[in-house]
Amino acid sequence: MLLISCPNCGPRDETEFHYGGQAHVAYPENPAELTDREWAEYLFYRDNTKGAFAERWLHSTGCRQWFNMLRDTVTYDIQAIYQMGQLRPATGPTAPTVTSPVSPEGAIK
Amino acid sequence: MTTEHLPEHPDFLWRNPDPKSSYDAVIVGGGGHGLATAYYLAKNHGMTNIAILEKGWLAGGNMARNTTIIRSNYLWDESAAIYEHALKLWEILPEELEYDFLFSQRGVMNLAHTLGDVRESVRRVGANKLNGVDAEWLDPQQVKELCPILNINDNIRYPVMGATYQPRAGIAKHDHVAWAFARKCDELGVDIIQNCEVTGFLKDGNKVVGVKTTRGTIHTEKVGLCAAGHSSVLAEMAGFRLPIQSHPLQALVSELHEPVHPTVVMSNHVHVYVSQAHKGELVMGAGVDSYNGYGQRGSFHVIEHQMAAAVELFPIFARAHVLRTWGGIVDTTLDASPIVGTTPVENMFVNCGWGTGGFKGTPAAGLTFAHTIATGTPHKLNKPFALERFETGALIDEHGAAAVAH
């Protein structure tokens, strides 16, 4: 079972969370102008990365907030947890592991 | 123990050749689907100068990790056609391959636990009958008669309200299926090359002309991808995308028991599927782990959940023990139907997206994919399962009949 550090609540069991798939997939800016191919890409095509993968999680039985996670899809190591709207952190052997600072009250510093 | 009592090592069922520098076609992936594809390419289309490239050992991926359930009770016409064709092939393959892989048509039951389940199930029985698939609706008493160890009392959270039943469905010995295909492929001249990982493709413009592997470069006129959970990785190497998400799917077995479970029972709602293997172990599976994963393992709470469901449905399982758990990597699509057909790359073909139910489809996947590779156009059975359906919107939604949540 994954131990996931919710940015708001701290480390909790995976069973408290729901998976939201690939992160950083924006709704099309001009939906009416999309071709069928582009609609297919938006609706059905997602990256299926083997390795570091940016994905969304929902702390459904905790704070009920969405957040982003960078996780290795082979080792399942969680490499970074970051807020919705933030850019994906750098990855690679030299990239620092980003941990979410959580105060004793559970609020983000 | 003295050596004089050791039996002779059995004959090897296939050669282990070194790869040649070129083939007429190369199949990537030496699991059930790759083996079946090569078999039908050789048998039906006379293509014998072909190779199967397997990065690990033969049939060591999902072919070694599934719960061996074979059935064809899918909802839509397109699915019923291809899965029923597969079932008809399963019925003749032991004789055709001259190998008894213990296909046991002990029936498969899909339980209904809610009014919604009942409606969906009765509708599916009707659809199955119209498509010539054997299907029956059973009331709880009939369920109990067929499978006496099932708890049909209303003292559980989701009592059994009935079940669909397909008598011709069943299980088979997965390893023996792979070995049966492998031996025939080998006899027909197909090179089965293990420990040979594909690392890239050679292209001439938009046409694939070869495969780069850990055992050298192989030139070929056609490439067929049969890599299940790793299909996206290969597609990316070739320069196109697939609407596939790879997830861990776990299963487990108990220790050996006397025969207690006469059929196969699946439950969508409380989510477990159980059969008893020929040797005697209880074989169980459940839904996929929610996250994307290539790790061939999942989270333990999924196992815990499926065992809780199993014990509620089968109270006598409470005293059984988990002997082994494992995971495979399943290639899921958003409509829970496979993708078998051409790709944006010329002369490259793809068979993937069978997700949680690929084992049962093995013979039909092989037959239709071989046709597609040999002729360059789909067989009538796999035509609806083209990659283009995600653009046209002609999806084939089998989330209900797939019976494994994802």
Task: For residue B331, give both structure tokens.
Answer: 């290639």
| Interfacial residues of A (vs B; Cβ cutoff 8 Å) | 1-2, 13-15, 18-19, 21, 36-37, 39-41, 43-46, 48-50, 53, 55, 71, 73-76
Q: Which residues of chain B are within 8 Å of residue A46 when distances are taken between CB atoms? A: 243, 245
Torsion over CA of B117, B122, B128 and B131, rounded to 10 degrees? Answer: -130
Interchain proximity B243–A44, CB inside 8 Å? yes
CA distance B163 to B108: 10
Does position B64 have pLDDT exceeding 60, yes or no?
yes
Mean pLDDT over B50-69 rounds to: 97
Taking all residues of chain B, what is their mean pLDDT, rounded to a whole number?
96
Does position B143 have pLDDT exceeding 50, yes or no?
yes
Interchain proximity A46–B243, CB inside 8 Å? yes
Interchain proximity B392–A36, CB inside 8 Å? yes
For the stretch B306-342, pLDDT in tens is: 999 999 999 999 999 999 999 999 999 999 999 999 9
User: Phi and psi dihedrals of B316, rounded to 5?
Assistant: -70, -10
Q: Which residue of A has its CA nearest to B294?
A: A74
Q: Which residue of B has its CA nearest to A75?
A: B295
Interchain proximity A48–B232, CB inside 8 Å? yes
Interchain proximity B301–A18, CB inside 8 Å? no
Interchain proximity B390–A71, CB inside 8 Å? no
For the stretch B179-238, pLDDT in tens is: 999 999 999 999 999 999 999 999 999 999 999 999 999 999 999 999 999 999 999 999
CB B69 within 8 A of CB B219: no
pLDDT, residue A98, reads 44
Q: Which residue of A45, A55, A73 is in closest CB contact with B241? A: A45
Mean pLDDT over B353-359 rounds to: 96
pLDDT, residue B8, reads 80
Our CA-based measurement puts residue A98 at a distance from the nearest CA of chain B, in whole angstroms, of 20
CB B220 within 8 A of CB B24: yes
Q: Which residues of chain B are within 8 Å of residue A39 when distances are taken between CB atoms? A: 391
What H or E segment, with its residue span, contains residue B129? helix B115-130
Residue type, B385: F
Interchain proximity A45–B390, CB inside 8 Å? yes
Q: Which residue has the higher pLDDT, A100 or B124?
A: B124
Q: How many beta-carbon contacts under 8 Å exist across A and B?
A: 65
CA distance to B23, B27, B147, B284, B368, per residue, from B178 (Å): 22, 15, 30, 21, 18
Interchain proximity A2–B291, CB inside 8 Å? yes
For the stretch B236-271, pLDDT in tens is: 999 999 999 999 999 999 999 999 999 999 999 999
Which residue(s) pair with B246 in the sheet?
B331
For the stretch A17-69, pLDDT in tens is: 999 999 999 999 999 999 999 999 999 999 999 999 999 999 999 999 999 99
Interchain proximity B391–A14, CB inside 8 Å? no
Interchain proximity A71–B291, CB inside 8 Å? yes
CB A69 within 8 A of CB A78: yes
ipTM, two decimals: 0.92
Mean pLDDT over B40-56 rounds to: 98
Taking all residues of chain A, what is their mean pLDDT, rounded to a whole number?
87
pLDDT, residue B9, reads 78
Task: For residue B259, give both structure tokens.
Answer: 């025969």
Our CA-based measurement puts residue B248 at a distance from the nearest CA of chain A, in whole angstroms, of 10
User: Phi and psi dihedrals of B214, rounded to 5?
Assistant: -70, -5
CA distance B139 to B162: 4
Q: Which of A37, A44, A47 to mutate to test the interface with B (most CBs of B within 10 A)?
A: A44
Stated pTM of the model: 0.94
Q: Which residue of A18, A44, A55 is in closest CB contact with B334? A: A44
Q: Which residue of A13, A41, A50 is in closest CB contact with B294? A: A50
Interchain proximity A76–B293, CB inside 8 Å? yes
Q: Which residue of B295, B300, B334 is in closest CB contact with A1? A: B300
CA distance B162 to B151: 12
Categorise residue B353: left if φ over 0, alpha if ψ from -120 to 50, beta otherwise: left
What does the DSSP assignment read for B216-268? EEEEEEEEEE--GGGHHHHHHHHT---S-EEEEEEEEEEEE--S---SEEEET
Q: Which of B288, B391, B396 to mutate to test the interface with A (most CBs of A within 10 A)?
A: B391
Chain centroid, CA B241 distance in Å: 22
Q: Which of A2, A22, A48 to mutate to test the interface with B (most CBs of B within 10 A)?
A: A48
CA distance A69 to A86: 11
> ∠ CA A33-A35-A36 to the nearest 5 degrees?
135
Interchain proximity B246–A73, CB inside 8 Å? yes
Interchain proximity B292–A48, CB inside 8 Å? yes
Mean pLDDT over B113-137 rounds to: 97
Does position A107 have pLDDT exceeding 80, yes or no?
no
Q: Which residues of chain B are within 8 Å of residue A1 when distances are taken between CB atoms? A: 299-301
Q: Which residue of A has its CA nearest to B231?
A: A48
pLDDT, residue B2, reads 55
Is residue B314 classed as helix, strand or coil in its secondary structure?
coil
CA distance B300 to B297: 9
Q: Which residue of A has its CA nearest to B333?
A: A44
Q: Which residues of chain A are within 8 Å of residue B243 when distances are taken between CB atoms? A: 40, 44-46
Task: For residue B112, give both structure tokens.
Answer: 């209904």
